[in-house]
Amino acid sequence: MLKSMTGFGRLEEKISGGRVRAEIKAVNHRFCEIHAVLPKEWQHYEPQAVKELESRIERGRIDLLVEFIPDKDKEADIHINEALLAQLKETFDRIAEQTGSTDSFPAAAMLEHKEVTFFSGSVADEAAAEEVIPPILHRLASELNRMKRTEGKALEENIEQLLEKTVNSLYRMENAAPAVRTDFQEKLASRISRWLSPGEISEDRILTEAAVFAEKADVTEEITRLWSHIHQFRETLNRKGSAGRRLEFILQEMNREINTIGSKASLPEISAEVIDVKESFEKIKEQIQNIE
C-alpha cells in the first residue's frame, strides 16, 4: 500500500515531575531528512531519536519536537556548582589583571551553563530520556504512518483513475495505429510523384520507397512498450515499502514513449489522444511527488 510523505502526529504523556508533549510533522522531500528538537536535558538523545525514526520512515522531511512541561504545583530545586563558579571567577580575575581589563565577571552568563547550574525535581531528568523517549517515538511514528497510509490510499485511487483514462486512450490509439502508416505512405508517395518527371521512376519504386519511410511512422512498438510500462507502474503501486522513486523512473519512460508517438503520428485522432495522455501523466507526476 502506498504511503504519502505528508502527515502529522501529536501526543501528551504524564511522567514524573510533569508532562511530555511531542509532535511530529512530515512533508515532501526527495530523501529522508530528520530533524529532532528535545528538551535541553535530553539533547544527548537526539542522535538516537533520529536513528530510531529513520528505521520507521523511508522518505520525507521529518520534524520532531519534544517538550517537557513541569507540574505547576512543584518547584524545581536549583543546584549551583559553587566550587566551579569560584574557580571560573578566579581565572577571570587573573586574566583581567594580566590584560588590564576593567570588565566585570559575567556571573549571570556563567549560571546559564549546565556545568554550573542544574535542576532537580520538576525538570526533565537527564537519565529519563532512555526510558521516556523510545515509547513516545514508537507511538508518534505509528500515528504518523497511519495518517500517511490513509493519504496514500487516496493518492493511489486518484492515480488509478488517471491510469484507466490512459488505458482507454491506448486502446483507441492501437485501433488507429495501422492508419498512421497508410496515411504517411500515401502522402509521401504523392509528394514524390509531384517532384519527379513522368517516367523518371516507376510507380512501384515510389511505393516501395514510401513503404520504407512509412515504417518510421509506425507507432506500434511505442504503444507496446507503453503497455509494458503501465503494467510495471501498477505492480509498483502494489509493492510494499517505498515506491515513489521507482514510480518516478517508470513515469519518465512512459512520457518518453508518448512523446515519440506524438512526434510520429500526424493523424488528428491520435494527436488528440496523445494530448489527453500527456495531461494525465502530468497529473500523475504531481501525485507521485507526494508518495514515500
| Ranges 1-15, 34-48, 119-133, 254-268: which has the least confidence | 119-133
CA quadruple 134, 9, 54, 67: dihedral positive or negative?
A: negative
52: domain range? 7-73+126-148
Neighbours of 212 (CB within 10 A): 11
Note whether 36 and 64 are same-domain residues: yes
Identify whether the C-beta of residue 192 lies closer than 8 Å to the C-beta of residue 206: yes
Asked whether 140 and 25 are in contact (CB, 8 A), the reply is no
A 10 A CB-CB count for 18 gives 19
Averaged pLDDT, 168-179? 87
Same domain, 143 and 229: no
Instruction: Report pLDDT for 204.
Output: 62
- The reply to whether 65 and 109 lie within a common domain is no
Do 240 and 174 share a structural domain? yes
Considering the domain architecture, whether residues 220 and 207 belong to the same structural domain is answered as yes
Tell me the pLDDT band of 13, cut-offs 50, 70 and 90: confident
C-alpha–C-alpha distance, residues 50 and 241, integer Å = 19
Domain count, the chain: 3
Residue 2 lies inside a defined structural domain of this protein: no
Residue 1 lies in a domain: no
Q: What's the confidence (pLDDT) of residue 247?
A: 95
| Grid cell at residue 61 | 522531511
Residue 274 lies in a domain: yes
Q: Is the domain of 137 the same as that of 193?
A: no
69 and 29 co-located in one domain: yes
With a cut of 70, say whether residue 124 has pLDDT above it. Answer: no
Same domain, 169 and 63: no
What residue spans of 44-128 are helical by DSSP H?
Answer: 46-54, 82-99, 107-111
Q: What are the backbone dihedrals phi and psi of residue 195, each rounded to the nearest 5 degrees, phi first?
A: -75, -30
Q: Structure pTM?
A: 0.67
